[in-house]
A and B are shown apart, each in its own frame.
Chain A
Amino acid sequence: MKEERIKRILLTLGILFVIVFCLLPFAWMVAVSFSETPDFLIRGNYGFTIKNYLDILRLENLHFLDYLKNSLLVSGIVAIFSALIGALAAYAVSRLSFPGKVVIVLSVLALSMFPQISVVGYLYKFMSNIGWINTYNAMIFPYVAFSLPLAFWMLMSYFSQIPKEIDDAALVDGANRFQTLVRVILPITLPGFLSAILLLFMFSFNEFLFALMLTTDFRARTVPVGIALFQGLHGELPWGYIMAASAISSIPVILIALFFQRRIIQGLTRGAVKQ
């Protein structure tokens, strides 16, 4: 059939578009990271090397491993706390009846659109006053707050799929609400809960503005800030290092995206599509 053929051609073109559009910049990043010089395109001489990788892992004055450690720790802690706090609120909204529920849900939705720049000036002053500049705490607390709307919406959509009768059975057996959440609801929704944690991890791992304002050096600075502020000795940007650092730092989130794409897509869209 003619139309089937048009569709086949369009689909093939579409798949090619997705591949080129999404992967070409990554290929460029990897190519530069393995080259002796970033200008290999005009030099015509690629010069394969793993020196960039070895250097950023070995040279201590570049502090890349410090940035990575800070990023992983901060994001991990934030993801877990945010998921737990979000789970409590999501449980209440999906299970209990109380006045003002709609207002709470809509407020949380509105909070997810908060511009970070509108709080960062105040946070900087506040964190300076309590001596938290350049500490993990300076990032962890604002990150938890700013990722809570995402945690809340994702978990609420998972929880509301579980029939309330399951709670009632546990309550009859003498469990209180908190025990019901921890022993009954969380185990049932465990895959959803874990994917929420992964998405929250990505959220914090990628954050830039707060980390830029609230940290000053390698003791707390995270990967995005480290990569944004990478400077060469003589003014020229050390592109090989930047791309090698970028490639290594992308690995955790790339793995999450590839292995959990189904859950991430579900988690992100539940709220949007329900009508």
Chain B
Amino acid sequence: MNREIREAFFFILPLGIFVLLLMLLPVIGSFWISLWQDVSFLPRKFTGLGNYFRLFKDFQFWQSAGFTLIFSFASVTLEMVAGTIIALVLNESFRFRGIMRGTALLPWAIPSVIGARIWQLIYRYDYGLANYVLRGTSGLSVNWLGSSGGAFLSLVLADSWRTTPFVAIILLAGLQSVPQGLYEQAKIDGANLFQRFFKVTLPVIKPVVIVALIFRTIDALRVFDIIYVITGGGPGGFTTSVSLYSYKYFLLGDFGYGSTVSIFLFIIAFTVAFLYIRAGRFREAAL
């Protein structure tokens, strides 16, 4: 018994060291930095919670927090819908289904920066694909990246494209776990295709939907890569997510305030994660 505990300790130790030194310690370090005035070329000065008071009065920060929230909500909603459709398709049996499943993974598999570059060019006002199609069908051109509404929509679409495959995969696994007998029973009871989806499929896969929802929400709240590439936070700072806002302060050399913003995001993400783990039935799943 004692020996097993000792063995377990040594097996988990390497993971523990990495996590401690490169995840936990840096977060504590960031918190420590956030308690200082830490700007390049200025003397370091301990300010306690000073940066946090500044944060609460910082209009631009709240604007970016608001943007991040609305962006996450819109993008996760769209992904759940598109992901459900794709999962339903990939769950049917048809020729080349394996290749189709692989194909559906591609937007998620490539680096997010590459996806972002592709969409950035699609959205280009003069010769982008989006306006080409729009002009051809309706004669209109949209200023995708130059207007705040257009930029918001562009980012939501690009982000949904990249992450829908992930949602689809998780939901597909849920669909595969629905007992076929339930469908047969519903058919006998006279339920049609759509009734079967809403009355049988959805209730059974609900736990999986929640898992996908929360994983994606936390991920969306941290959004950085695609905004950095596609809009750089513009126009006029309108699409600056909290991560990007923090990064911009790092770039300016203001590590104290940048860390304060990042710690705020950390607390939000962790609260969501905590609620998730409490809500999910991971205790039994784990063992």
How far, in angstroms, from A110 to B82 measured CA to CA in the complex?
Answer: 27
How far, in angstroms, from A26 to B9 measured CA to CA in the complex?
Answer: 47
**Contact between chains at B103 and A22 (CB < 8 Å):** yes
Q: How far is the CB of B24 from chain A (nearest CB, A)?
A: 9
**Contact between chains at A261 and B101 (CB < 8 Å):** yes
**Contact between chains at A111 and B23 (CB < 8 Å):** yes
Q: How far is the CB of B84 from chain A (nearest CB, A)?
A: 11
How far, in angstroms, from A268 to B166 measured CA to CA in the complex?
Answer: 9
Chain B residues, CB < 8 A from A265? 101, 105, 169, 172-173
Chain B residues, CB < 8 A from A148? 15, 18-19
> Considering residues B27, B127, B286, which has the most beta carbons from chain A within 10 angstroms of its beta carbon?
B286
B184 within 8 A of A: no
A227 within 8 A of B: yes
How far, in angstroms, from A41 to B130 measured CA to CA in the complex?
Answer: 11
Q: How far is the CB of A212 from chain B (nearest CB, A)?
A: 8
Closest to A160 in B: B287
Chain A residues, CB < 8 A from B172? 265, 269
How far, in angstroms, from A108 to B287 measured CA to CA in the complex?
Answer: 14
Chain A residues, CB < 8 A from B228? 208, 212, 228
Give the contacts of B98-123 with A (CB-CB under 8 A): 98-107, 109-119, 121-122
**Contact between chains at A177 and B7 (CB < 8 Å):** yes
Q: State the majority secondary structure of interface residues on A.
A: helix
**Contact between chains at B114 and A264 (CB < 8 Å):** no
> Considering residues A28, A213, A223, which has the most beta carbons from chain B within 10 angstroms of its beta carbon?
A28
Chain B residues, CB < 8 A from A273? 170, 173-174, 177, 208
Given the interface pairs A119-B26, A254-B110, the reply to whether A17 lies near B89 with Cβ below 8 Å is yes
User: Which of the residues A28, A43, A258, A274 comes within 8 Å of B285, measured between beta carbons?
Assistant: A274
Given the interface pairs A115-B262, A148-B18, the reply to whether A102 lies near B283 with Cβ below 8 Å is yes
Closest to B6 in A: A98
**Contact between chains at A213 and B15 (CB < 8 Å):** no
Q: State the majority secondary structure of interface residues on B.
A: helix
Q: How far is the CB of A259 from chain B (nearest CB, A)?
A: 8
B3-45, CB under 8 A of A: which get 1 and which 0? 0110111011011001101110011011001000000000000
> Considering residues B4, B82, B102, B129, which has the most beta carbons from chain A within 10 angstroms of its beta carbon?
B102
User: Which of the residues A85, A99, A262 comes within 8 Å of B5, measured between beta carbons?
Assistant: A99
**Contact between chains at A14 and B169 (CB < 8 Å):** no
**Contact between chains at B12 and A14 (CB < 8 Å):** no
How far, in angstroms, from A145 to B122 measured CA to CA in the complex?
Answer: 35
User: Which of the residues A32, A117, A122, A274 comes within 8 Å of B265, measured between beta carbons?
Assistant: A117
A105 within 8 A of B: yes
Q: How far is the CB of B33 from chain A (nearest CB, A)?
A: 6
Closest to A267 in B: B169
Chain A residues, CB < 8 A from B101? 261-262, 265
B59 within 8 A of A: no
Chain B residues, CB < 8 A from A118? 26-27, 30, 262-263, 265-266
**Contact between chains at A41 and B132 (CB < 8 Å):** yes
**Contact between chains at B262 and A121 (CB < 8 Å):** yes
B229 within 8 A of A: yes
**Contact between chains at A119 and B225 (CB < 8 Å):** no
Give the contacts of A242-275 with B (CB-CB under 8 A): 242-243, 246, 249-250, 253-254, 256-259, 261-262, 264-265, 268-269, 271-275
**Contact between chains at B262 and A42 (CB < 8 Å):** no
B180 within 8 A of A: no
**Contact between chains at A117 and B262 (CB < 8 Å):** yes
> Considering residues A3, A89, A99, A115, which has the most beta carbons from chain B within 10 angstroms of its beta carbon?
A115
Interface size class of A (residues with CB under 8 A): 35 or more
Give the contacts of A104-138 with B (CB-CB under 8 A): 104-106, 108-111, 113-126
A179-221, CB under 8 A of B: which get 1 and which 0? 0000000000000000000000010011011001100000000
What 5 A-B pairs are tightest by C-beta distance, nearest first? A145-B22, A269-B173, A119-B26, A92-B11, A14-B89
Q: Which residues of A contact B (CB under 8 A)?
A: 3, 6-7, 10-11, 14-15, 17-19, 21-23, 25-26, 28-29, 32, 38-43, 85-86, 88-89, 91-93, 96-99, 101-102, 104-106, 108-111, 113-126, 141-142, 144-146, 148, 152, 177, 202, 205-206, 208-209, 212-213, 223-225, 227-228, 239, 242-243, 246, 249-250, 253-254, 256-259, 261-262, 264-265, 268-269, 271-275
13 of the cross-chain contacts (CB-CB < 8 Å) are A25-B119, A42-B132, A96-B5, A105-B286, A110-B277, A113-B272, A113-B273, A117-B242, A120-B250, A148-B15, A148-B19, A206-B113, A208-B113
Q: Which residues of B contact A (CB under 8 A)?
A: 1, 4-5, 7-9, 11-12, 14-15, 18-19, 21-23, 26-27, 29-30, 33, 82, 85-86, 88-90, 92, 94, 98-107, 109-119, 121-122, 126-127, 129, 132, 161, 164-166, 169-170, 172-174, 177, 192-193, 207-208, 211-212, 215, 218, 221-222, 224-225, 228-229, 242-243, 246-247, 250, 255, 258-259, 262-263, 265-266, 269-270, 272-274, 277, 281-287
Question: A21-B82, A25-B161, A28-B121 known; 14 other A-B pairs, CB under 8 Å?
Answer: A21-B86, A22-B103, A22-B107, A102-B283, A102-B287, A113-B218, A115-B222, A118-B30, A121-B30, A122-B29, A208-B224, A224-B113, A272-B208, A275-B285
